[in-house]
Structure 1
Amino acid sequence: MAERGSRSGGRGGRAGAKGAVAAARRPEIRLPPLVAYEGEGLEPDGDYDGVRFEEVDLADEAGPGSRFMDCELRGCALDRTELPRARFLDSVLTDVRGVGTNLAGASLRDVEIVDARLGGTQLHGAVLERVVVRGGKIDYLNLRTAKLKDVVFEGCVLSEPDFGEAQLTRVEFRDCVVRRADFHAVRMESVDLRTVAELDIARGVDRLAGAVISPAQLMELAPAFAAQIGVRVEA
């Protein structure tokens, strides 16, 4: 389990040399002794502090505006769970699974999401700061108009993620697969795509200003770049 240290995030957000990509500041989480969750469902505006949710079935539960501080969710079912405007602070979500989880307008700060299996997760309008998504697979992730700052996607599969009109600052995609991504009207600053194992952009290839890609990725994206500016390439 990761340990939380200084909230400042250290010096990881600085570029080490002129022209270098500013690295994302990762969360450092140290959970306190936790109390097992023994409730019977979530509550609107619920306050959960230092709670461990172990294999809890939260499908179809509703807890809009809830606050999760120093919590661990492990092996929980989140099918159709309603958590709009929820706040997750200094928390770890491991092996969570579900379809149609609603986190619209939520705030995630200093959070790790590990080996998640999610589909159709709604995070539009959300704010993510110092978040790591490691392993697992997320299909149809909706991050439209969201704000991502110091976020790392690592070793995971993102299938048809929607970043439309989102703002990405110091976001890293490391050793992950990104399929049919929508970057329509996205704004990027210090976004590192160089180590993406598979990069497939369905829309918004013209919005990669502020991102860094590898020479190999440039060759793969060349037809899309050419089409964007109206250049025909023929033998």
Structure 2
Amino acid sequence: MATERRGAAAKVKRARRPEVRLPPLVPWQGAGLEPDGDYDGVEFRDMDFTGQEGIGARFMDCAVEGCAFDEAGLARARIIDSTLTGIRGVGTDLAGATLRDVEVVDARLGGVQLHGSVLERVVIRGGKIDCLNLRTARLKDVVFDGCVLVEPDFGGARLERVEFTGCVLKEADLTGVTLVDVDLREAAELGIARGVDRLGGAVISHGQLFDLAGAFAAQVGVRVI
């Protein structure tokens, strides 16, 4: 594990952020999502996709605003060069999905399944996500900016050039995670429930080190009395 020290900033590779430039969009006129559907240059606004199945669907150059995705099936979906703003949902299934060059803003999600997914050049800004399942996922150039993550599960995932900026992490599970150039120094709150021994490859601040002292002691079997 690397702690904050002179020259540390120069050694931590910064995440490359997406630069989403949407073309003129066509408002969505369909009745619902379809498995393996192909959506290109579409604007989805204030739609209710509760319980709908869009397994394997592709969203390219799309804007999704204010839509509900409760129990929606979007496993293996591909979301590319798109923005997701004010989306909400419980139990949304995005297992094995690919998100590339995507901005997610003010999402309100619970129990979203992203295990086995691939996230590359993604910014998740604002909002709150409860019980985010990212087990065995691959995250590269991802920024969590000012959002709240409650009980996120990163078990077995690989995080490379991932930043947590002004982000609140509560009871995070890092069991078996692999971290490469992960910057936690600017996290507003850093709570780790499991896997503190996997912080190698991350950089934290001196204050965070003190906050995690109890967890480190427990990991090596030290009793603090």
Question: Is this a same-fold pair by TM over 0.5?
Answer: yes
Instruction: Give the total of aligned pairs.
Output: 219
The Cα of 1:233 is off from its aligned counterpart by 2.0
Pairing partner for 1:45 from 36, 41, 55: 36
Q: Which residue of 2 aligns with 1:212?
A: 203
Per the alignment, in what secondary structure is the counterpart of residue 226 of structure 1? helix
User: Does residue 158 of the first structure (1) align with residue 149 of the second (2)?
Assistant: yes
Counterpart mapping for 1:27-106 below 5 A: 27-106=18-97
Pairing partner for 1:224 from 215, 218, 221: 215
Q: Which residue of 2 aligns with 1:9?
A: none
Q: Which residue of 2 aligns with 1:202?
A: 193
Per the alignment, in what secondary structure is the counterpart of residue 216 of structure 2? helix
Q: Which residue of 1 aligns with 2:127?
A: 136
How far, CA to CA, are the matches of 2:48 and 2:122 in structure 1?
A: 24
Counterpart of 1:233, as a letter, is V
User: Does residue 111 of the first structure (1) align with residue 102 of the second (2)?
Assistant: yes
Regions of 4+ moved over 6 Å? none
Q: Which residue of 2 aligns with 1:124?
A: 115
How far, CA to CA, are the matches of 2:151 and 2:214 in structure 1?
A: 20
Pairing partner for 1:173 from 156, 164, 172: 164
The Cα of 1:165 is off from its aligned counterpart by 0.2
Q: CA RMSD in A?
A: 1.2
With the length of structure 1 as denominator, give the TM-score of the two structures. Answer: 0.91
Per the alignment, in what secondary structure is the counterpart of residue 195 of structure 1? coil
The Cα of 1:20 is off from its aligned counterpart by 2.1
**What 5-or-longer segments of structure 1 have no aligned partner?**
1-15
- Percent identity between matched residues is 68
**What 5-or-longer segments of structure 2 have no aligned partner?**
1-6
The Cα of 1:17 is off from its aligned counterpart by 7.9
